[in-house]
Amino acid sequence: MLPLANKERAMAPKSYGKLDLTFQLLRGKTRMVDVYQQPPLKASRELYPEGTGDVTVYLMESSGGLVAGDRNEFRIHVGQGSSVTLRPQSATKVYPAFNDAPSTQQVTVKLEDDAKLEWNREEVIPFLDARFDSKTSIQMTPSSSLLWSEILYPGRDKRGEAFAFQECNTHVDIWIDDQCVVYDALHLHPKKQELKKLGALENYNYIGNFWCFSPKVNLSDVHMDSMLVQQDNHKSGMTTLESNGILIRWLSNSLPLLKKEMDTITNYFNGIVKEN
């Protein structure tokens, strides 16, 4: 009976979650004017925690994670002058690729003139023997603003599964009009690569990224030395990018410190964007 059960499991339909969200500025308030939800993905109702016209929406995934061959697809359209914060309710858990098929995630974002999007934050946990492919593509205009943060875990390290996944591939591209300002790809294959060597991850487990593009940020006035701690188990670096962009990247063994700094940096740039 066991071989039959395994065969039936391998032939089971794969989960295909879809979430399409469209936002518009209506009478001074950002509204979610169109929603298409296909389980297991779902969006919360509109929230206005700051008492302003800026909207916050939580992104939910009811299945508990991606199993081999599953696919999640997000399409976000932020209309002119809209201000949106999207918060994934939990980390994306990627389960073992029992049939050797990768789980995939596609995020497509379009920001119109004077629109603002904060994605806070994408977290991915690839389990033992997991395979994961992720692609994020963002289209902006010169007047729109983006704050994007993400953390890649080594796996369930508390269970001894650090870098025990098969492979994890992530790709981010950001466009301002027809100019590609970010093309960032990460390919991790623990069994084929020496990830812990000098020049790779060394002794660190967590990878964090924060991207910010906004015409409202004056790069010469940005001072963040006091916000970024440098320790033996926690390092960060910052670089300025074309088109008024900033990238901060972390390598860390302290997840609480990484999240704290990422929140501090996000709030710092959020304040600048909202004030200008």
240: three-class secondary structure by DSSP = strand
What confidence category does residue 222 fall into, taking pLDDT thresholds of 50, 70 and 90?
Answer: confident
Summarize pLDDT for 156-183 with one digit per residue, the tens.
988 989 999 999 999 999 999 999 999 9
> Which helix (H) or strand (E) covers residue 261, if one does?
helix 255-275
Which pLDDT value is given to residue 152? 98
- Encoded tokens for 77: 């359209």
Structure confidence at residue 226 (pLDDT): 86
Q: How many CA atoms lie within 13 A of 275 on its CB side?
A: 8
State yes or no: pLDDT of 6 exceeds 70: no
When the pLDDT of each residue in the chain is averaged and rounded to a whole number, the result is 93
Domain boundaries of the chain, sorted by first residue: 2-275
DSSP secondary structure string, 241-257? Answer: ETTTEEEEEEEES-HHH
CA–CA dist 252, 243 (Å, integer): 28
Give the model's pLDDT for residue 14.
77
Cα(214)–Cα(71) distance, rounded to whole angstroms? 31
**Residue 214 scores a pLDDT above 60:** yes
Query: What residues have CB less than 8 Å from 69, skipping those under 6 apart?
Result: 14, 99, 101, 102, 103
Q: Write down the H helix ranges in the chain.
A: 2-11, 255-275
Tens of pLDDT, residue by residue over 124-136, are 999 999 999 999 9
Give the burial class of 21: count Cβ atoms within 10 A of its Cβ; 0-12 exposed, 13-18 middle, 19 or more buried: buried
Q: Find tokens 């509204």 and name the residue.
A: 31
Dig out the tokens for 97 from the structure: 């690729």
